[in-house]
Chains A and B, each alone.
Chain A
Amino acid sequence: MNRKKDKGFESPRPYKLTHQVVCINNINFQRKSVIGYVELTIFPTVVNLNRIKLNSKQCRIYRVRVNDLEAPFIYNDPTLEVCHHESKQRNLNYFSSAYTAAVSAVDPDAGNGELSIKVPSELWKQGDEMKVLKVYIEFSLDQPKGGLHFVVPDVEGSMAERAAHVFSFGNQNSTRFWFPCVDSYSELCTWKLEFTVDASMVAVSCGDLVETVYTHDMRKKTFHYMLPIPTAAPNISLAVGPFEILVDPYMHEVTHFCLPQLLPLLKHTMSYLHEIFEFYEEILTCRYPYSCFKTVFVDESYVQVSSYASMSIFSTNHLHSGMIIDQTPLSRRFLAQALAQQFFGCFISRMSWSDEWVLKGISGYIYGLYLKKTFGVNEYRHWIKEELDKIVQYELKMGGVLLHPTFSGGKEKDNPTPHLFFSIKHPHTLSWEYYKMFQCKAHLVMRLIENRISMEFMLQVFNKLLSLASTASSQKYQSHMWSQMLVSTSGFLKSISNVSGKDIGPLIKQWVDQSAVVKFFGSFAFNRKRNVLELEIRQDYTSSGTQKYVGPIKVTVQELDGSFNHTLQIEENSLKHDIPCHSKSRRNKKKKIPLMNGEEVDMDLSAMDADSPLLWIRIDPDMSILRKVEFEQADFMWQYQLRYERDVVAQVEAISALEKFPTPASRLALTDILEQDQCFYKVRMQACFCLAKIANSMVSTWTGPPAMKSLFTRMFCCQSCPNIVKTNNFINFQSYFLQKTMPVAIALLRDVQNLCPKEVLHFILDLIKYNDNRKNKFSDNYYRAELIDALTNSLTPAININNEVRTVDNLNTDVRLILEEITRFLNMEKLLPSYRNAITVSCLRAIRMLQRNGHIPSDPILFKSYAQYGHFVDVRIAALEAVVDYTRVDRSSAELQWLLDLVQNDPVHYIKHKILSMLAKNPPFTKAAESSLCNEALVDQLWKLMNSGTAHDWRLRCDVVNLYYALFGLTRPSCLPLPELGLVLNLKEKKAVLNPIIKSDPGPELEEEQHVVIEPALSGVAMAPQSLKRKAETLLCSSPEPGQIMQEEPSAKITVKTREEEDIDMETVHDSQAFIYHHLNMLERPSTPGKEVSSVEHAMLSMPGTPMPLLSKESMSSKHGDHHHHHHHHHHEHKKKKKKHKHKHKHKHKHESKDRDSHAFSNSPASGRSIRSPSLSD
């Protein structure tokens, strides 16, 4: 869609924002509230701007003034309650489309917003002069559930002493949660930010800190920030707390902030940030765009890292001291990610959601370059391989990930991703996992582009984007100049073709405009007579998540005479490819064999097929296609590949292939790799696990000590006493990682009875016993944790004689030993806690494993106590994982309820998110299986959670959708009572009516719904009568709000009109009126009782002599909708009059109690706010 309009950027709004002031005067930690105002400076771009739509959620708005004139406004947020009227649909298709419609209705990229401000008529006349308007909004936030997060530890002392802090967060554009704004990545403006905080606190925000001034009473200070670089509202953030301040010793314009007492850790963690800066600036040949950079480390963070203009917010859990090995690369990676996003994501923003992939792609790609430089090529290639495997696995399982969705027009049926249970039209409707995969795919595609046009050109393109943006950013506001700072898919592709002169159209079409990956199956035969390798490459492009690939593919063949690359063309019908071999099979000659990298090695060729000169074959060795390759070659070829191919990716592939060949030769090859310290450590780690698997497959013929045991002894134990491990010295990280991993793998060994051999268990217990870290420079916490994991791995199911209760007395002796270790470790953790409580985490997992294997009684109480708020987050998640597992195994509804309560009430957003994703990953039941847990109450609870309970957090809502999908699938949950069948026909009618009204894309989903509905679902229409009643009641009860007054008359008019048209069956005027609103809501989804909004539409319409070019489309459609609607009623009533009567009444009785429930729920804070929201207008 965007590709066509490459000339500049067309704003969806009738005005252009140029500057915004955000002033927060008061932050109250005790009450968790915030008071402030914003002032937006806007230039109308139409002649008569009479309405301004802004985004705002949660905010209590006190007054709005436009150029010092009080302006009436309406606050309406349809996402608060997605499906109204307690609809009994209960199926995801219905919800998804409704939710998408609701998000669209407030989508700033479509010019919409929750807050609609009527420009005072006095200002209209100035229209032709295009005068600047200043919109001033006073607002407050009280105990925000989204947008801002308060962390207030419950200890003695002042707020500063308690390390209380607050910071902004959100999924994608979520700034509207904490101040009114145009919450779009494409609306840039300059900023002035003022925060008045307690004198003991620091307020960190975007841009330059101009000055800090005391208030008159000297109790507070005000931080004044200026951000002269045009920035989108979603990139604005704030963090306030009693932070310790560290000026980066290498770069004085960079400042780091952490919570009290953590300064030493901060110093260590930040000691290499300057290297990342230097790296990016060098490759991009561009200076860091902002004049300063701030990093803030906060507790209870929403995500691990989030980037905003000139600042990044990290989880405080990434801080570490110099003694910690494992965290170091992780923290560096997060820093590098954050910084990459500063360039692409914050400084350069995007035109629309469908251009997001460019930003994520570029930032992910340059982050990859940093990884390559810092951690080496092996690490980089290994990472690419992992990422590729991840995306391939996801797409094959879930269906494709589409980077650049195009929604041509709006209400068409061509949903680009019909295979998904959510819409990808908005970032806020995406499942979190999908979004992660989206980012993963984006950077892989960037790498593909690099393969095509070379890295040099690639970096030139980035440089071009950056320099254009920085030129634009230094300009004062001119029309469209700032849009140079927005990247679009078309703009990006255009610069690629300008810079490189190459056409990457097919590549983009394949991977960006189209979802799914390629699945190859390869096999070969060697034709001795012709000395030709006959390679067959087949594709599976019919199963979900796959697509057909046509084009070049590289194949590398290692022959006796050397390594040869061949480029084959994959075409429509050719499966077989003949590749001429260079060497005759002549293995008698003792000659070194040249490898791809020029190295020449001696090989023992005795394992080879005497007739063939082929050592191994690789398909697409450079990973230049997003693919999965299943290639068949003989086991000895995989072994040669593992031993002699120098590419880590090839080694990794060989190892996973060798799992299927449990032979002594495979064993030898793996052992050799394990011993070779030249080999990349992650390959060796993987070899450990493969060796364990092979050993288990070969258990009956295995000779010698358990696999890897003697190897471990040789590498890590004392020479004089081989049963004692050397005192720890982790100075060599490769061997550290190996030492950590080997016991975990060894513990997976099983003997003929499928038990862990005693020898192995005692070996691990000895490792624990003799572990001595006194002389080590590094902490051994992760090592000890992995030793506990090893113990966990050694567990096998208990032999359970006639279901006896597990007691201490009948505890297996080996298990007793294990349990003793675990008890001691867990208790020691209370006295000497390890870094990130890694040991507690492992212990909890071990205990759950003991329970699951029936060694100790299954009981969630312990885990529940560790899952409480107040434990370290890793511990909580480990404990929750155990509870989730318990819920599934024991089918405990009490625990499920407990978990869901936590989802609703826990103060930490990340924990809520994790609970839901763990539940979705390990669901207590699925659609396929019958379960006592699956009942109506649960469906109701989840539905309410999804419908209105999670309106404050986009991510959480999508998590609930995810869980709902995992439990019930797309259709109506089977545990719900069957709906009356007589409504089916109504449904069809309804669909015909609804389609034009819902401007968003119900598309095929709705179509499907129709089919689905035939069996279980209830239609909205069917429910209408009694929901109407409720609606009507609500309307009657709620005293008219001030905002309503001005619309009194038009709405009455409508009523009259309706009465005329609607001649049948509707009980009261109110009912019919509400019924209409119900359908109108499909358009606007107001959460405030329908009346205001829809009547506003009409009010606007009926205002004489008001030209409304922008509104006309909308109002037309609603009118249209009305018409159809009534039409439908006539039609339908005539036909089905009698039937409907019957069913309707039945229904009423049946669901009366439900209705009351829903009514109560709608008074919950989330939805209640909308009803009581102060839509004042004087």
Chain B
Amino acid sequence: MADSAVMGSGSLNSGNRSAASKTSTSPSENYQLARRRTLQVVISSLLTECGFESAEKAAVETLTEMMQSYISEVGRCARANCEHTARSTPTLSDVVITLVEMGFNVDTLPAYAKRSQRMVITAPPVTNASVVPKALMTGQKRTHPPHIPSHFPEFPDPHTYIKTPTFREPVSDYQVVREKAASQRRDVERALTRFMAKTGETQSLFKDDISAFPLIAARPNSIPYLSALLPSELELQMLEETDSSEQDDQTDTENNPNNMIQDDQGADKENAVLPPGGGVPAGKPSEENMIDNPYLRPVKKPKVRRKK
């Protein structure tokens, strides 16, 4: 019926089947189409052998399908048998057992194979299907030195251990880096300030050429000490990067929010349920009680007016 090549391909196909579904152009699908075509040729020749002159396409298809299933099943079972015996490649006996199990009389096979009227079908053209991607060869693979017996494994590919420098040394190290950093920063600063100067109000030192050394106009700030005293975000960031060893006491950081909250509540007028009666300090951990500072104490409620 079919030679081993076909069978092998059938078993291979069983794994791929589900994946290959629609028309596509990938090599594996090309391969599948070619195989199916071969199977159809086989079915057609068998039909011819049996004496059919023509067949409907649907019938040929059905038979092809059956054929394929059969071969697939043989392949699958053969592999299962082989794996049962802890091997990876099926042997003849595996196939024989499979065929037996599937109720096929094996003894009839050689005779069938040698029948006179059988038709020979050319093997499907082998497209360069199983191209194993070649490992990149780098350098010469080393042979064993004399003291290592040859049965030891070979050296791994050279690329696994050969070191190849991947960057060039800068022309001159530190100086250039500093130079570059300095000029970069200067350029950025200059561009930025120029931009700011162009987009905003400016003051000038010269009367003849107002654009010569543009100074961003001085703008009074309603709370000038804030920007002058507080470190800028940039500085804070830098400080974090370098080192932040200073650790202030936890206690007061906790105290403060309380107090502020308290004040806020005061601001919220009377409707704020007024916790000052005890809510705030009581709720706090013991350290709160330790610190007895009059400014942290709750604000008292006014006494009820008795006079009126």
Which residues does A use to contact B, with CB under 8 Å? Answer: 153-155, 160, 163, 199-200, 202, 208-219, 221, 242, 244-247, 249, 252-253, 255, 259, 261-263, 265, 267-268, 271, 292, 299, 316-317, 319-323, 718, 720-721, 724, 769-770, 772-777, 779, 805-809, 819-820, 823-824, 826-828, 830-833, 835-837, 847, 850, 856-857, 859, 861-862, 865-866, 868-874
* B305–A216 touching, CB < 8 Å: yes
Interface residues of B in 169-226 (CB under 8 A from A): 173-175, 178-179, 181-183, 186, 189-190, 192-193, 196-197, 203, 205-209, 212-226
Interface string of B279-294 (1 = CB under 8 A from A): 0000000000011111
* A820–B213 touching, CB < 8 Å: yes
Residues of B within 8 A of A720 (CB): 173-175
B110 CB-CB contact with A under 8 Å? no
* A773–B266 touching, CB < 8 Å: no
* A199–B293 touching, CB < 8 Å: no
A/B interface sample: 29 pairs, CB < 8 A: A153-B222, A199-B267, A200-B266, A211-B297, A212-B297, A212-B299, A213-B302, A247-B296, A249-B252, A265-B229, A267-B248, A323-B239, A718-B175, A769-B182, A769-B186, A776-B238, A777-B239, A808-B209, A824-B189, A824-B193, A826-B216, A831-B192, A832-B232, A835-B228, A836-B228, A856-B205, A857-B206, A862-B203, A874-B228
Residues of B within 8 A of A252 (CB): 290-293
A731 to chain B: closest residue by CB: B243
* B175–A827 touching, CB < 8 Å: no
- The answer for the CA separation of A720 and B172 in the assembled complex, in Å, is 10
B162 CB-CB contact with A under 8 Å? no
B140 to A: closest C-beta gap in Å: 41
B255 CB-CB contact with A under 8 Å? yes
Residues of B within 8 A of A828 (CB): 189, 193
- B229 contact from A262, A819, A870, Cβ within 8 A: A262
- Given A247-B296, A721-B175, A777-B242, also A861-B228 (CB < 8 A): no
* B229–A253 touching, CB < 8 Å: no
- A218 contact from B189, B270, B291, Cβ within 8 A: B270
Question: Of the 9-residue stretches B65-73, B145-153, B256-264, which lies at the interface with chain A?
Answer: B256-264
A954 to B: closest C-beta gap in Å: 26
B249 CB-CB contact with A under 8 Å? yes
A1085 to B: closest C-beta gap in Å: 40
B231 CB-CB contact with A under 8 Å? yes
A766 to B: closest C-beta gap in Å: 9
* A268–B229 touching, CB < 8 Å: no
B300 CB-CB contact with A under 8 Å? yes
Add 14 more A-B contacts to A210-B294, A252-B292 (CB < 8 A). A160-B267, A214-B299, A215-B302, A244-B256, A246-B255, A255-B295, A261-B230, A265-B229, A265-B230, A267-B252, A321-B231, A823-B214, A857-B205, A859-B207
B269 CB-CB contact with A under 8 Å? yes
* B252–A246 touching, CB < 8 Å: yes
Residues of B within 8 A of A213 (CB): 299-303
Residues of A within 8 A of B260 (CB): 244
Residues of B within 8 A of A212 (CB): 294, 297, 299-300
A464 to B: closest C-beta gap in Å: 32
- The answer for the CA separation of A680 and B305 in the assembled complex, in Å, is 68
* A865–B218 touching, CB < 8 Å: yes
B249 to chain A: closest residue by CB: A249
- B225 contact from A316, A721, A831, Cβ within 8 A: A316
Counting chain B CB atoms within 10 Å of each CB, the highest count among A268, A823, A824, A856 belongs to A823
Residues of A within 8 A of B295 (CB): 202, 209, 245, 247, 255
- The answer for the CA separation of A986 and B303 in the assembled complex, in Å, is 71
B234 CB-CB contact with A under 8 Å? yes
Residues of A within 8 A of B243 (CB): 777
- The answer for the CA separation of A211 and B296 in the assembled complex, in Å, is 11
B211 to A: closest C-beta gap in Å: 9
* B215–A862 touching, CB < 8 Å: yes
- The answer for the CA separation of A836 and B226 in the assembled complex, in Å, is 10
- The answer for the CA separation of A322 and B212 in the assembled complex, in Å, is 39
* B269–A219 touching, CB < 8 Å: yes
B235 CB-CB contact with A under 8 Å? yes
* B225–A317 touching, CB < 8 Å: yes
B251 CB-CB contact with A under 8 Å? yes
* B206–A870 touching, CB < 8 Å: no
A252 to chain B: closest residue by CB: B291
B227 CB-CB contact with A under 8 Å? yes
Counting chain A CB atoms within 10 Å of each CB, the highest count among B181, B224, B229, B231 belongs to B229
Residues of B within 8 A of A216 (CB): 302, 305
A837 to chain B: closest residue by CB: B228
- Given A247-B295, A720-B174, also A833-B190 (CB < 8 A): no
- The answer for the CA separation of A866 and B203 in the assembled complex, in Å, is 11
B301 to chain A: closest residue by CB: A214
Residues of B within 8 A of A215 (CB): 302
* B174–A247 touching, CB < 8 Å: no
B154 CB-CB contact with A under 8 Å? no
- Given A245-B296, A807-B208, A824-B190, also A153-B223 (CB < 8 A): yes
Residues of B within 8 A of A265 (CB): 229-230
* A209–B263 touching, CB < 8 Å: no
A868 to chain B: closest residue by CB: B220
B107 CB-CB contact with A under 8 Å? no
Residues of B within 8 A of A244 (CB): 256, 260
A208 to B: closest C-beta gap in Å: 7
* A249–B251 touching, CB < 8 Å: yes
* B259–A245 touching, CB < 8 Å: yes
* B206–A808 touching, CB < 8 Å: yes
- B224 contact from A242, A827, A872, Cβ within 8 A: A872
B276 to chain A: closest residue by CB: A214
Residues of B within 8 A of A861 (CB): 203
Residues of B within 8 A of A871 (CB): 218, 220-221, 224
A723 to chain B: closest residue by CB: B175
Residues of A within 8 A of B242 (CB): 775-777
List the 10 closest pairs (A to B, CB-CB), nearest first.
Answer: A870-B220, A199-B266, A827-B193, A209-B294, A249-B249, A218-B270, A872-B228, A721-B175, A808-B212, A808-B209
A763 to B: closest C-beta gap in Å: 15
Residues of A within 8 A of B229 (CB): 262, 265, 316-317, 319-320, 835-836
- The answer for the CA separation of A531 and B294 in the assembled complex, in Å, is 74
* A827–B215 touching, CB < 8 Å: yes
- The answer for the CA separation of A819 and B204 in the assembled complex, in Å, is 12
Residues of A within 8 A of B252 (CB): 246-247, 249, 267
* A154–B186 touching, CB < 8 Å: no
A373 to B: closest C-beta gap in Å: 23
- The answer for the CA separation of A245 and B251 in the assembled complex, in Å, is 13
B72 to A: closest C-beta gap in Å: 69
Counting chain A CB atoms within 10 Å of each CB, the highest count among B224, B239, B242 belongs to B224
- The answer for the CA separation of A263 and B226 in the assembled complex, in Å, is 12
Residues of B within 8 A of A246 (CB): 252, 255-256
- The answer for the CA separation of A595 and B99 in the assembled complex, in Å, is 116
Residues of A within 8 A of B215 (CB): 823, 826-827, 862
Residues of A within 8 A of B212 (CB): 808
* A323–B266 touching, CB < 8 Å: no
Residues of A within 8 A of B193 (CB): 823-824, 827-828, 831
B246 CB-CB contact with A under 8 Å? yes
- The answer for the CA separation of A770 and B182 in the assembled complex, in Å, is 5
* A827–B197 touching, CB < 8 Å: yes
Residues of B within 8 A of A163 (CB): 223
- The answer for the CA separation of A850 and B174 in the assembled complex, in Å, is 36
Residues of B within 8 A of A316 (CB): 225, 229
A312 to B: closest C-beta gap in Å: 16
- The answer for the CA separation of A849 and B71 in the assembled complex, in Å, is 101
Residues of A within 8 A of B303 (CB): 213
* A208–B294 touching, CB < 8 Å: yes
A268 to B: closest C-beta gap in Å: 7
- The answer for the CA separation of A773 and B249 in the assembled complex, in Å, is 28
* A830–B228 touching, CB < 8 Å: no
Residues of B within 8 A of A214 (CB): 266, 299-302
A725 to chain B: closest residue by CB: B178
B207 to A: closest C-beta gap in Å: 6
